[in-house]
Amino acid sequence: MVDYSQLEVFVLTYNRADKLGKMLDSLGCQTAQGFRITVLDNASTDDTSKVVNGMRAKYPDRNINIITHSKNLGNLGNFRFSQEKASLKYTAIFHDDDIIHPEYLERAMNLFAQHQDAIFCSGSIQPVFMPENYNWPLLHTQYYVFPKGTGAYMQLMISRSSFQTAIYRTDIYKTLQYREDLYGKLHDIIFLLELQQYGDIIHVADLCARVGIGDIRDSNNLKNGPFPNEILEMVCRIDELTKGQKYAKPMLWNFAYFLYEWSCLSRFLTWKQFTDKLQARGVFSECDIVNFSLKPVIDRIDGEMLSWAETLKAACGKQFSGRRSGLVQ
C-alpha cells in the first residue's frame, strides 16, 4: 500500500495570489490523500496568505501550510530553501501558476512504489496562457523508466523531464546543486539531467500539468540571458553526461542548435563561431562539424528517422529491456 504521507509538495510563490488559488485548488482535488502541502511565500505583498487560509477552509482535510520569508530570497533562493526544509521521503516542487492533473500525485507515488530504484518522476506538460483545472484527459498507463546512467541521453533524445511536475526522492534532491553561476536561468535543464547519475528516472507520457506562460515571464526575457558562455557550459556538461552513448553526438548537435536559436545567440556570435568554441572545448571534432553541417539532423540519425524501439535500443543497449509500462495499481 502506498503511503502518501511520505510526500511533501512545495509550492513556490511570489505575488501571484490570483494564480496560487487555482494551483492549490488542483492540489485539493488530488485523488491521493494524506500528503503535505507547504507554500513557500517569497515575501509577497499581495493576498497570498489570505488565499492560503481560504484554501485551508475549503479543504479542511488537506494538510496545507505556509512559510513566509521575511525578505525575498529570489527564485533560486526559494528553491534552495525547499532543499533545506524537505524532510519526508519524497519532495515535489511546483509553481504557483501551474495546474496539476488530479490523478498525477497518485500515479507518481504508485510508480515509485513499483520501481524502488527510481529517484525522480515527472510527466508531460501543456504550456497555456490561462491554466484551468477542468477537462483533463485520462491518465493512461504509458510511462518510461530511464535506467541509471542513461537518463541524460534518453531525456535529450526523447523527452526531457519537466521541472513543473518534478517529484524527487528527497535524499537525492537535497544533494543536488542549482548552478545558476554556470548555466544562468537554464540551470534547471542541467539540474534534471544530473539526476541520471543517481538512479532510474520515470517519465509519465500523458499530460500531467498545465503550465502558465506569458510574455512577461522571466523565461522569455532575453535581457537576463541566456548568454553564450552559459549555453557553451551547458552543451559541454551534457557532452560529459552522454559520453559514449551511441548517436549522442548528432543529438547533442541538434540540441546545441536548438539552444542557439531559442536563446537568440546570434545577437552575440554566429553559429560558426559558436561551433568553433564547442570544437575548441572538445565537444565536436572537425569531422563532426563537417558531417552534421551537410544536411539537417533534427530528429534524424544519418538522414533516417529512428523508431521508438530503435531509439531505446540505441540509447541503452543491453542495459534496457524495452519500454516498461503497465497499470498503476
Which residue type occupies 151? G
Judge whether 152 and 110 are in contact, CB under 8 Å: no
pLDDT at 160: 62
Judge whether 193 and 166 are in contact, CB under 8 Å: no
DSSP per position, 158-180: T-PPPGGGEEEEHHHHTT----H
Beta bridge partner(s), residue 202: 121, 145
Assigned CATH topology for domain 4-212 = Spore Coat Polysaccharide Biosynthesis Protein SpsA; Chain A (3.90.550)
To 10 degrees, what angle do helices 17-28 and 48-58 make? 20
pLDDT at 250: 81
- Report residue 302: phi and psi, to 5°: 55, 35
pLDDT at 128: 79
Sequence ranges of the domains in the chain: 4-212, 226-316
Q: Identify the three-state secondary structure at position 132.
A: coil
Alpha-carbon distance values, 254 to 196, 200, 248, 274, 307 (Å): 20, 25, 10, 14, 17
pLDDT at 316: 44
Residues 6+ apart with CB under 8 A from 3: 34
Closest to 166 in 3D by CA, of 192, 148, 147: 192
Residues 6+ apart with CB under 8 A from 48: 13, 15, 16, 17, 20, 39, 41, 66, 68
Judge whether 112 and 1 are in contact, CB under 8 Å: no
Judge whether 14 and 41 are in contact, CB under 8 Å: yes
Rounded Cα distance between 119 and 127, Å, is 25
Residue by residue, pLDDT tens for the chain (329 residues) are 899 999 999 999 999 999 999 999 999 999 999 999 999 999 999 999 999 999 999 999 999 999 999 999 988 899 999 999 999 999 999 999 999 999 999 999 999 999 999 999 998 888 877 777 777 877 776 788 888 877 666 666 555 667 889 999 999 999 998 888 888 888 888 888 888 889 998 888 888 999 887 544 454 556 666 889 999 999 999 999 888 777 788 888 888 888 888 888 999 999 999 999 999 999 999 988 888 876 544 444 444 434 444 554 444 433 333 333 333 33
Alpha-carbon distance values, 80 to 86, 198, 228, 259 (Å): 10, 19, 26, 26
pTM: 0.83
Rounded to the nearest 10°, the torsion over CA 80, 86, 91, 93 is: -30
Rounded Cα distance between 62 and 51, Å, is 15
- Report residue 117: phi and psi, to 5°: -85, -5
